[in-house]
Structure 1
Amino acid sequence: MPRPSLPHISFSLTAVREFASTAAPFALLALALLVVAYLVLDPSPPRHVVLATGVDQGAYAEFGKRYAARLAQHHIRVELRATQGAAENLQLLREGKVDLAFVQGGADRDRGPDENPDANLRSLGSMFYEPVWLFYREESAQRLLKAQELRSLSQLPGWRVNIGAPGSGVPNLMQRLIEANRIEPATLTLQQQPQTPAVVDLLEGRIDALVFASAPESLMVQMLLQTPGIRLFDFAQAEAYARRFPFLTPVNLPRGVVDLAGDLPRQDVHLVAPTATLVARESLHPALVQLFVQAAQQVHGEAGWFQRKGDFPNARDNERALHREAERVYSHGEPLLQRYLPFWLANLIDRMWVVLLSIVGLLIPLSRVVPPLVEFRIRSRVFRWYGQLRAIEAEEGRTPAQELNERLDEIEARVAGITLPLSYADELYALKGHIQQVRRRLQPRPA
């Protein structure tokens, strides 16, 4: 096969160069629109986010580590902020000091109907149950009640009870339960120590009972359930509590679920449980919301002591509005593109496809102008010399022929340097023929 000659390649490159220079303004317009859309839509999430968890060795802290590990797979660093619990988490969210936080249902203080401090907060869904664990000493029940077990919260007067550190959600919750049982606060010795010192005091007999709300993954829960001499209070009125307080759900701790071989507990235990939700600021990037909800489905989706597989996470939240991006994930699942592409690319396409289609729709009509413009630019290189030829013809007889011939020589030399695509070669040769025609007219005629 013969190789293409150099002049042929030169003519082809000329055509490409003409097309590129003519289409360049439209390409720049498309690029400018993409840049503006990127800045407005901000499709790429930040690489750092702060999640408020809870006390060390608590369920919030354990779950926070799992979230951090899963988001690290997408190169997102999750900073875990240790706190005293749900109430402090909620306050940090309202002050904008964290991006997300675990919040226990009913942890907030009572507020008037016109108050809405959570207007800028959105729920990412319900994550898991947080049963209210009231552990007490058998010896205290025998000494104070002359009985083997505590049967009702109304029997608590005279007890020393730790209801959780300030900043956790339990103090506010216990205040409501105490009021519902018409217990005078003065008849109780209430303490608000952090969880670990309170457990030590309970084991050493300095307090009679302690209360905290936590998922069963908490190491403290696991340890106290198997400690001799420590008993778990059975909320026999769990259904009634749930009807009085909408944020509570009656749950059942099945017999033997703690230790099948040791048959712990030896009977079903009724508990009440607030639902833990993951709450984020409304300004949190939608891509991060999507990642956290997907991580929640992996972290909380399995069966547990109080739920079956698939019960959590879910879109139910009685206290805060659900984030739109979280609702999208719950409704439609993982985006299709993320199954085949890296997250950053799938997210970019997902956020930008509407804009891309709009820009394409705008450029298609404009692109029809490009071929006529290319043709005009190429032909103008030839046609602009015809004006000078007509000027030379008009000066015939008024300007010396020698001067006009010199001007024709100059035009001919410059036309010889014009490079056009082969499809326009006929017009270039026609111009050269017209130059020679004018030259012949300028020659002296015989008398």
Structure 2
Amino acid sequence: MKLLKFTQFSLRDLLVSVAPTVLLIAAACALAFWIIDPTPPRVVNLSTGQENSAYENIGKRYQQAMAKHGIKVVLQPSQGSQENLQRLNKGDTDIAFVQSGSTNEAEAERRGLVSLGSLFTEPLWLFMREKKAVTNLTKLKGLKINLGPEGSGAPRLFRQVLQANGVMPDEFTSSALENTPATVELLEGRIDALVFAAAPDDPLIQMLLMTPGIKLFDFTQAEAYARRLPFLSHVTLPRGIVDLGRDLPARDYQLIAPTATLVAREDLHPSLVDLFVQAASGIHSGAGWFQQQGQFPSPRYTEIPVAHEAAKFYKDGPPFLQRYMSFWLANLFDRLWVVLLAVGALVLPLSRVVPPLYVWRIRSRVYRWYGQLRLVEQGVDEGKPADELLRRLDQIEERVNRMTVPLSFADEFYGLRNHIEFVRQRLRTNT
């Protein structure tokens, strides 16, 4: 069994030498794991829209989709697109619905905003009381029109459209009621018209399209608007799409439409970007009144730069690991790549430190006794009693004999013993 004590290397010394390197690598891995690539947050704020609006209803669908992956989506009601954009700029929300045309590429980059894709077209709807209906926007002068609250996207959009027609804001009476009370005012005849910019599945849009005495404005110059204002698209409301049996509407209507875009702050965790885009694909990919199957979500129709993860999804589909395992497990493996990179960056340089450290530790065990041996020799020069020095030398030799060193360092060990004997002989000579 004693032979087991003599090996080519000392496991204990090796472990002690390696320990600082292992601790440093572990600390670097922890830093990379938790700071460089942190865990995705489990709570995300989504700014939606007015009560009973399409934005609010769609926000609830995102809430349900994300809850399946353990992500809580807190819905933040708003007046609409413009208020959502303001919240993103101030950092008061993480992600929001924003209409195209609400900002521009340079401003979005400066504010640190990214697009997760266009979701659907939301036409500009101009509903009028039948008695006040017009066929040209220049005839709106003198009418009472509700443009919607300033936080929504409709007022800014409609003013741009009116400006293109040479109609100034002071040439008609405008109000800023929310969609629901504005609809009541229109039905009661206290206003002449109201403006929406919303998806066709908005409950108020559906109701107004079927209400007798309410007429939808036909943008017969829709293609010209789309050319003049690039963020707009020309869409057609087909005859009978609302109610085939009642033939509503009784003819095709030409409309102009911005697109609703899912916009996030650029510091939103990349894994959450992936998850939201996947949710968008499930929610918006179907056919609709103004879109074909698979047309949305899309990286097109937006002036805001598309997030890298979103662009990758539209090109290649979901991340490889998320196709076969749960979101959190896939995220864990994705983050482990960061740890492997940290380990790779440290192992090679630190591995060069370990062998010299190991050799120094073994040799220092031998060399520290040379200091004691030197003190004994100095005692001879100082004339100390030989018997006392011999006893000290015997103690040193006894402790050295109990010391174990790897066989590869046996020459240092036996060299030390020879030097002990050399000092002993010198002491005896001087006695």
Q: TM-score, normalised by structure 2?
A: 0.81
Q: How many angstroms does 1:214 deviate by?
A: 0.6
> How does 1:217-366 map onto structure 2 within 5 Å?
217-340=201-324, 342-344=326-328, 346-347=330-331, 350=334, 353=337, 356-357=340-341, 359-366=343-350
Preserved contact between residue 200 and residue 206 of structure 2 (Cα < 8 Å): yes
- Among 106, 111, 118, the residue aligned to 1:120: 111
Equivalent-residue separation in structure 1 for 2:214 and 2:31 (angstroms): 64
Offset, 1:436: 10
CA contact (8 A) 1:382 1:431 kept: no
Letter in 2 for 1:80: L
Query: What does residue 396 of structure 2 align with?
Result: 411
CA 1:365 to 1:341, structure 2 compared with 1: closer, same or farther past 3 Å? farther
SS at match of 1:119: helix
| Contact 1:121/1:279, CA 8 A, preserved across alignment | no
Cα shift readout 1:200-257 (whole Å, capped 9, x = no counterpart): 2223333333220111231212222333443433322211221121111011223343
Number of equivalent positions: 426
Summarize the Cα distance change of 1:396–1:208 in structure 2 as closer, same or farther, 3 Å threshold. Answer: closer
Change (3 A) 1:9 1:258: farther
> SS of the residue aligned with 2:344?
helix
CA distance in 2, matches of 1:35, 1:308: 47
CA RMSD of aligned residues (A): 4.0
SS in 2 for 1:289: helix
1:211 corresponds to: 195
Preserved CA contact (<8 Å) 2:370 2:416: no
- Match status 1:57 vs 2:52: yes
Q: Which amino acid is 1:217 matched to?
A: D
Counterpart in 2 of 1:134? 126
Q: Aligned pair in 2 of structure 1 residues 440, 154: CA closer, same or farther (>3 Å)?
A: closer
> For residue 197 of structure 2, what is the amino acid of its counterpart?
A
C-alpha spacing 1:412/1:262, structure 2 compared with 1 (3 Å): farther
Contact 1:289–1:326 under 8 Å retained in 2: yes
What's 2:19 paired with? 24
Moved more, 181-190 or 364-373: 181-190
**8 Å Cα contact 1:43-1:347 kept in structure 2:** no
Percentage identity across paired residues of the two chains? 50
Determine helix, strand or coil for the equivalent of 2:194: strand
- Give the whole-Å Cα distance in 2 for the aligned partners of 1:8 and 1:202: 101
Unaligned runs of 5+ in 2: none
Is the 1:44–1:344 contact (alpha carbons within 8 Å) kept by the matching residues of 2?
A: no
* Aligned counterpart, 1:95: 90
The answer as to whether partners of 2:366 and 2:413 remain within 8 angstroms in 1 is no
For 2:154 and 2:171, the matched residues in 1 are separated by 19
Aligned to 1:201: 185
Give per-residue Cα distances to partners, 1:71-111, cap 9 Å, x unaligned. 33444433222111112222233333223221112346xx9
CA displacement at 1:308 relative to structure 2: 1.9
Paired with 1:389 and 1:78, the residues of 2 have a C-alpha distance of: 74
Ranges in structure 1 where 5+ consecutive residues have no aligned partner: none
Q: Secondary structure at the match of 1:236?
A: coil
Please say if residues 135 and 230 of structure 1, whose CA atoms lie closer than 8 Å, have aligned partners that are also in contact.
yes
What's the counterpart of residue 173 of structure 1? 157
User: How far apart, CA to CA, are the structure 2 residues paired with 1:429 and 1:193?
Assistant: 94
The TM-score normalised by the length of structure 1 is 0.78
Deviation for aligned residue 1:55 = 0.2
For residues 443 and 82 of structure 1, the distance between their equivalents in structure 2, rounded to whole angstroms, comes to 95
- 1:415 maps to amino acid: V
| Deviation larger for 169-178 or 68-77 | 68-77
Contact 1:131 1:215 in 2 (8 A): yes
Q: Distance in 1 between matches of 2:416 and 2:53?
A: 91
Asked if the contact 2:112/2:265 (under 8 Å) is kept, the reply is yes
- Secondary structure of the equivalent of 1:280? strand
| 1:164–1:193 contact (8 Å) kept in structure 2 | yes
CA contact (8 A) 1:43 1:348 kept: no
* Native 8 Å contact 2:118 2:296 kept in 1: yes
CA contact (8 A) 1:15 1:420 kept: yes
Contact 1:70–1:295 (8 Å) recurs in 2: yes
1:86 equivalent to 2:81? Answer: yes
State the match for 1:105 in structure 2. Answer: 100
